[in-house]
A and B are shown apart, each in its own frame.
Chain A
Amino acid sequence: MDPIQSLIKELAVKHGRKRESLLPVLQGVVEQERYLSEHSMIEIARELDLPAAEVYGTATFYSFLEHRKMGRFVIRICKTISCSMKGKNQVLLAIQDMLKISTGETTPDGRFSLVETNCLGLCHKAPAMLINEEVYTDLTPEKVRELLSEYMMK
Chain B
Amino acid sequence: MAESYHLLKRADFIFRNENDWEEILTKTIKRTPQDIINELISSELKGRGGAGFPTGLKWKITAEAKSAEKYVICNADEGEPGTFKDREILSRVPYKVLTAMAVCAHIIGSKKGIIYLRGEYHSLKEALEKSISEFEYYCKKIKLDFSVEVFMGSGAYICGEETALFESLEGHRGEPRNKPPYPTIKGYMDKPTVINNVETLAHTFTIFKYGSKKFYDLGVQFSRGTKLFSVSGDTPKPGIYELELGMSLQDFVNEFGDGDTKAVQVGGASGFLVPRKKFQETAIGYQGKLTGISLPTGGSMMIFNSSRSMFNVLDNYLEFFREESCGQCTPCRVGCQQLLIGIKAVKRGERPAQYLEKLLKLSETMQLTAKCGLGQSVANSFASIVENFREEMIY
Contacts and interface: CB of A to CB of B under 8 A. Distances in A.
B137 interface: no
Contacts of B323: 118
Interface string B292-315: 000000000010100010001100
Interface stretch (B62-70, B230-238, B242-250): B230-238
Contacts of B79: 118-119, 121
B interface SS class: mixed
B155 A125 contact: no
B123 A134 contact: yes
B316 interface: yes
B336 interface: no
Interface residues of A, number: 36
Contacts of A22: 171
Contacts of B152: 23-24, 27
Interface string B140-167: 0000000000011111110000000000
B355 interface: no
Given A23-B154, A23-B168, A124-B84, A64 B238 contact: no
A122 B88 CA distance: 10
B87 interface: yes
Most chain A beta carbons < 10 A, residue from B153, B265, B269, B316: B316
A22 B265 CA distance: 37
Interface string B317-334: 100100110100000000
Tier of interface size on chain B: 35 or more
Contact of B316 (A18, A84, A122): A84
Interface stretch (A4-12, A54-62, A142-150): A54-62
Contacts of B119: 27, 62, 64
Contacts of A27: 119, 152, 154
> Max chain B CB contacts within 10 Å: which of A19, A24, A57, A120?
A120
Nearest to A65: B154
Contact of A121 (B87, B151, B239): B87
Contacts of B320: 80-81, 118-119
Nearest to B85: A121
A123 B269 CA distance: 13
A2 interface: no
A123 B7 CA distance: 26
Contacts of A62: 119, 153-156, 174
A65 B153 CA distance: 10
B233 A82 contact: yes
18 contacts: A19-B172, A20-B170, A22-B171, A61-B156, A61-B173, A62-B174, A79-B316, A80-B320, A84-B316, A85-B233, A117-B155, A118-B79, A121-B120, A123-B232, A123-B233, A124-B238, A124-B239, A135-B123
Report, nearest first, the 5 A-B pairs whose CB atoms are least far apart. A62-B154, A64-B155, A22-B171, A123-B232, A124-B238
Interface of B: 78-84, 86-87, 118-123, 151-157, 168-174, 230-234, 238-240, 265, 269, 302, 304, 308, 312-313, 316-317, 320, 323-324, 326
